[in-house]
Structure 1
Amino acid sequence: MTAPVLPRSARPAAGIRSLPARVAAANPVARLIASAPIVAGLVLTIDPVSAGVALVLELLLMPLTGIGWRRFWKATAIVWVLAPLGAVTILLYGQASGAVYFSWALVHVTEGSVALAIASVLRVLAIALPAIVLFAGVDPTDLADGLGQILRLPQRFVIGALAGLRMLALLGDDWRAITLARRARGLGDRRGPGALLRQCFGLLVLALRRGGLLATAMEARGFGGDVRRTWARPSRFGRIDAALIGVGVVIAAIAVTASVLTGSWRFIGG
């Protein structure tokens, strides 16, 4: 009789005693649930106070995730670049209100558009940063185990999504193989939208073929049957998982309360 294989998040490891290490080993489902209240609180309003408070609290708690600042900046660099770029459109073409700072043709930079652009930047950062940090290094199999055992999602959906996610890593290899094959046939020097579309179509055909073979293989091994399946790696919730979810709720509550008390709350549907 063999012992069950534990998921990485539940395997005891030497030296895991510090709080950052425990948070880093938290259940992936707990990380998913912890980010949900933050997202829910910030999507209801678009004001700089709620997003700014949430962002400050997240940055203060970032060392407790165990990700390390160097890895943090490397993983989130794209967000710090794209968030201000996305706000430029709001700054130039957002709803005009208050004092006018610059106006030319359709471009109107006003007091209201500036405030809206700042709120948008903070909002994107406050939503994206915790999602990236919490899911950095998450094993897809651990996440699938949690979705199936803890959230009780349909097993066919969970296993299928996991299989598809595992196949994503092969798309890069397929793209390089198609490129080499086209070069061998003397088509590698062709450029332009037509050549790109033909190569993308070839990649789609390979993906569909692999998906069909994978579906057949999984069906042959009993996936998707009526018999209740078992899990080789149990996924459980612990105190650190409950604490992580509580931190997400507290951050969202503080951000929303600060926005309401300062009169900055701006319901997005209003």
Structure 2
Amino acid sequence: MMLALFVAIDIVTPVILLAVLVAAVPVSGLRPITLLRRAWPLLVAGLAIAILNTVFAPHQSGAAVRIGPILLGLTTIVEGAAVGLRIVGIALAGVLALATIEPTDLADALMQHLHAPPRFALAALAAVRMLPVLADEWRLIGLARRARGIEAGLNPVIALRLAAGRLFALLVAAIRRGTRLALAMDARGFGERPCRTVARPQSVDRADWLLVAGALLAGVTATAVSLALGSYRLLFG
């Protein structure tokens, strides 16, 4: 499903796959309010990227649409919306996967079934475990800036500049934490042996195969519908 979102840049494919993802939320056992609380920054980012790709496109194509003082092309609006929807779809699929899979089980399954190198699987486990820490770090950076009186108010330009600075501070903190974590894991022998034993065998049952088949079917169906409507476009086509 995510592969279909990566390679297609039309608007029909992400719309269909987003509908499938939204329909799958009750099946995942995740409450919609919990999903919204975790994914709202990604939704805002997708909306912002769609607007920026539309407003600052090098050429406005299609029928002219006037929104206030801005004159936009209808085709450009559709293309910008497609980019935003692709990002939201990929992010939502990732959030659903991370929220419903226990990280330790994920690392064990990577080593047992995909035969991933233990160093890679354990690094993925450590990265997933660090996500809540980085979320707290992001919140603390915002609180620290607010305590210093650094706020954007209602100015979107200042808000973007402050968000970029906040993101850079989070990146620096993530690099520092990642470096310390890598040294600690090497010191405990995680990278010493080329092979490791697994204490918790992970089985692939019928539900797992049904999930894989459903994801493949959703991706193929979305691509087929887009091709039938004549709107399908490849990323590198």
TM-score, normalized by length of structure 2?
Answer: 0.72
Aligned pair 1:212/2:194, yes or no? no
1:23 match:
none
**SS in structure 1 of the partner of residue 223 of structure 2:** helix
Q: Is the 8 A contact 1:47 1:265 kept in 2?
A: yes
- Structure 1 residues 154 and 238, CA gap change in structure 2 (3 angstroms): same
**SS in structure 2 of the partner of residue 120 of structure 1:** helix
**SS in structure 2 of the partner of residue 237 of structure 1:** coil
2:142 match:
none
What do the CA deviations read for 1:129-180 (whole angstroms, capped 9, x no partner)?
A: 1221122153321111011111101123323443565567777999xxxxxx
Question: Which structure 1 residue ranges, 5 or more long, are not aligned?
Answer: 1-37, 175-188
Query: 1-side partners of 2:16 and 2:35: how far apart?
Result: 20
1:225 match:
193
**Equivalent in 26, 30, 36 of residue 67 of structure 1:** 30
Match for 2:10: what amino acid? D
Query: 2-side partners of 1:128 and 1:218: how far apart?
Result: 34
Query: 1-side partners of 2:204 and 2:135: how far apart?
Result: 35
**SS in structure 1 of the partner of residue 65 of structure 2:** strand
Query: 2-side partners of 1:49 and 1:203: how far apart?
Result: 36
**SS in structure 2 of the partner of residue 109 of structure 1:** strand
Q: Is the 8 A contact 1:65 1:134 kept in 2?
A: no
**Equivalent in 78, 97, 115 of residue 61 of structure 2:** 97
What do the CA deviations read for 1:162-205 (whole angstroms, capped 9, x no partner)?
A: 3565567777999xxxxxxxxxxxxxx9x9xxxx999x989967
2:78 match:
115
1:50 match:
13
**Equivalent in 224, 233, 236 of residue 266 of structure 1:** 233
**SS in structure 1 of the partner of residue 189 of structure 2:** helix
Q: Is the 8 A contact 1:51 1:122 kept in 2?
A: yes
**SS in structure 1 of the partner of residue 196 of structure 2:** coil
TM-score, normalized by length of structure 1?
Answer: 0.64
1:144 match:
107
Q: Is the 8 A contact 1:101 1:109 kept in 2?
A: yes
Query: 1-side partners of 2:178 and 2:228: how far apart?
Result: 53
2:48 match:
85
Q: Is the 8 A contact 2:8 2:232 kept in 1?
A: yes
Q: Does 1 or 2 have the higher relative contact order (CA < 8 Å, sep 6+)?
A: 1
Q: Is the 8 A contact 2:28 2:100 kept in 1?
A: no
Match for 1:93: what amino acid? F
Deviation larger for 258-267 or 73-82:
73-82
Q: Is the 8 A contact 1:148 1:155 kept in 2?
A: yes
Within-5 A mapping of 1:176-191: none
**SS in structure 2 of the partner of residue 218 of structure 1:** coil
Q: Please provide the CA RMSD for this pair.
A: 3.5
- Structure 1 residues 257 and 86, CA gap change in structure 2 (3 angstroms): same
Question: Which structure 2 residue ranges, 5 or more long, are not aligned?
Answer: 138-147, 151-165
Query: 1-side partners of 2:118 and 2:41: how far apart?
Result: 34
Q: Is the 8 A contact 1:54 1:255 kept in 2?
A: yes
Q: Is the 8 A contact 1:93 1:108 kept in 2?
A: no
